[in-house]
Amino acid sequence: MSDAAQPSAAEVRAAAEALKTALDRHLEAVERRSAEDGTAAEIARADAAVHAAFDELAAAGEAYDELLYDVYDEVTPFEVPGGDGMAAYSGPEEPGTLSVFIRRDYTVVEPQRLMAQAQRVTELDPDSVDGDTEVLEGPFAGSGAHAALGVLFGEYEPDEIATRHKEFGLEEGDSTLWVIAGDEPPEPGEWLGAPFESADPERVVCRFDVSAVFDEEDGFYGRVGGGVDDAIDEGIDEAEEIGEDLEEIEFEDDADDEGDDADDEGGDGGPAPGPGGAAAG
């Protein structure tokens, strides 16, 4: 047995009270922000208060869950996601500029499809690969895949690739978008050498994250977390399966109706039709 002091029931109770307090503070911060219609700086401060209350609630929930398990071998029925790492806003009260930082991660799951799409682009537009198409031929590996990515990302906008990633043999990973406030517009070419150095968390006005850690099993929100296209595809597949089942049922009903009609026609005691439709004598 460990020599470390084991938590007590009183500590669990204290953690529960701390969680209740954090929950109240988070709700109050959310309510204040929803009622806020002041200046951009006031709204930013309200956003920062919500982020801080969220982090406090997440920490309190984790502490209570751990103590509850240690003392009673029980867990809570919900999971509070970890904080998003947002620092308190310290940017300009009246932003003069905005910068949008986007990161999207992909896994190359079908190199053959990736190469085939790049080859199709180069066949339609040979200039898209700077006249060197040899790297897109032969085995789907090495410099060929590297060149294929260059062709596709040079031909299509990033948003279009995000929408059609499956066509290009890619699988979505995590993604995030940060909107960062600035003071003065930069000089042309000023940040091109290090474009992401100015991604200061303390100047983030808002951010949007998509990750598999937010998924809910067998739920619509879980499919959205993994990609809206997946949810749409699953819905289409289910609709097609239902349609096929309905067609089979209708076909069987029609066949039964035809059989019933034939029975009715021959059920009056008269002779059944012979070959060619003539009645047998």
Alpha carbon distance 58, 79 (integer Å):
9
Q: What is the number of residues in the chain?
A: 281
Check residue 157 and give its pLDDT: 93
**Edge-to-edge strand list for the sheet holding 170-182:** 97-108, 170-182, 204-210
What stretches in the chain show pLDDT beneath 50?
Answer: 1-2, 82-84, 131-135, 138-142, 216-236, 238-239, 242, 246, 249, 267-281
Nearest CA to 80 among 133, 19, 9, 126? Answer: 19
Alpha carbon distance 39, 19 (integer Å):
32
Check residue 18 and give its pLDDT: 94
pLDDT tens by residue, 244-278: 554 554 555 555 555 555 555 554 444 443 433 33
Helices (H) and strands (E) in the chain, counts: 7, 3
pLDDT tens by residue, 100-109: 999 999 999 9
Check residue 139 and give its pLDDT: 44
Q: Is 99 left (phi over 0), alpha (psi -120 to 50) or beta?
A: beta
Tokens (6 digits) for 28: 């109050």
Please give the full DSSP string across 154-186, using - where no structure is assigned: HHS-HHHHHHSGGGGTEEEEEEEEEEEEESSPP
Check residue 275 and give its pLDDT: 38
Tokens (6 digits) for 45: 């401060």
Check residue 34 and give its pLDDT: 84
Check residue 229 and give its pLDDT: 40
pTM over 0.75: no
Check residue 7 and give its pLDDT: 85
Tokens (6 digits) for 43: 């709204």
Check residue 4 and give its pLDDT: 57
